[in-house]
A and B are shown apart, each in its own frame.
Chain A
Amino acid sequence: MNYREDSFYINKVLKGNLPSFALLVEKHKGLAYTLALRIAKNHEDAEEIAQDAFLKAYNSLGSFKQESKFSTWLYKIIYNTAISRFRKKHIESYSVEESPIADSIQIAEEDGLNILHHKERKKIISKAIGKLKEDEGVAMTLFYLNENSIREIEEITGFTSSNIKILLHRGRKKILFELKKILKDEIVDML
């Protein structure tokens, strides 16, 4: 579906048009959910975080100054919601799932060709990305997937630009390491 500029929907929502907010959600739900997933590391929590964040965005849409990008504002809400929930959860339970990647290593080692199928490749890449730390995952996703600038990532996360550069540097190293670990060097080259 081809979406229009965010401001088009925002103005309609502010006039009380709820279906326009549904379109805004449809437009941004993918990356919003992906960002939440980078921090929450599981689908149920990520969905709840994204949902909460969209509700917050709806309730405070009137205060959104349309000078900045809606996506930047929304991702900031996502990030803050996810971080506050993650911290809460982290206090409740220290046992963070460490190795969901073990299965795919098995698959890769048993039959390397299988991973060349798109679905499998996607699964392996997702798992490798999942190995990144929360902040690294967010910075890498915003930088590489959403093509946000360092300045925009600063605005979303509240980190300094030097912090973000460090996160990106670590993230790059880690993602290559994880992929190599899963697929072996020669398969990485084929990707």
Chain B
Amino acid sequence: MSSKEIKRDTYIKSVFDEGGIEQPSDGFTNQIIKIIKSQSEESVFVYKPVISKNAWLILAFLGIALFLLIFFQSSGQGQGLTFYGYNLNLDIQKFTGLFKGIAISFKLTPIFKTSLMALVFFIFTNLLIIEIKSRSFFK
């Protein structure tokens, strides 16, 4: 670089330095932060299904519990279940008949039945508690 070019470059640099950096309006930074805050407020809303995953699990366990209750009542010596005059007893013979070809037989002892019902009840109540806690109006 020749001395003339160096001189010219120094001069242009001084011109740019003197022209300086332009500044935006006073509220520039605040405006940006305000927009970011409003963006993050919008993103806080998370879609929540009407029937949550826990609710579906509760319903599933409720269904299983009901099925087991009817099943055991039907297979036991009890009178079975009736609901508003409808007989809810399962025809256990028809049901077990489906598995005739399979050489597996099992007999449920009363202790096993009770334990199974207790387990279903335990899971069900826990899921219910979790679901209730997750609802905002209980927080």
Q: Which residues of A contact B (CB under 8 A)?
A: 18, 21-22, 25-26, 29-31, 33-34, 37, 43, 46-47, 50-51, 54-55, 58-59, 121-122, 125-126, 128-129, 140-141, 144-145, 172, 175-176, 179, 191
Contact = CB atoms under 8 A, between A and B. Distances in A.
Nearest to A57: B32
18 contacts: A18-B36, A21-B32, A21-B36, A29-B29, A33-B22, A33-B24, A33-B28, A43-B24, A51-B28, A51-B35, A59-B39, A122-B19, A125-B18, A126-B22, A144-B13, A144-B15, A144-B17, A145-B19
B33 A29 contact: no
Interface string B1-42: 000000011001111111111111100111111011101000
Contact of B15 (A29, A47, A54, A191): A191
Given A141-B16, A144-B13, 19 more contacts: A22-B32, A26-B29, A29-B23, A29-B24, A33-B22, A46-B24, A50-B24, A51-B28, A51-B32, A54-B32, A55-B39, A58-B32, A122-B20, A125-B16, A128-B15, A145-B21, A172-B8, A172-B9, A191-B14
B28 A175 contact: no
Given A29-B24, A29-B28, A51-B28, A129 B16 contact: yes
Q: Is the interface of B mostly helix, strand, loop or mixed?
A: helix
Nearest to B25: A47
Nearest to A147: B13
Contacts of B28: 25, 29, 33, 47, 50-51
Nearest to B13: A144
A51 B23 contact: no
A56 to B, nearest CB: 11
Given A22-B33, A26-B29, A175-B12, A31 B19 contact: no
B8 A34 contact: no
B19 A129 contact: yes
A50 B23 CA distance: 11
Nearest to A30: B21
Across the A-B interface, the 3 shortest Cβ-Cβ residue pairs? A125-B19, A30-B21, A144-B16
A43 B36 CA distance: 22
A48 B139 CA distance: 42
A175 B15 contact: yes
Contacts of A21: 32-33, 36
A38 to B, nearest CB: 9
Nearest to A59: B39
Contacts of A59: 39
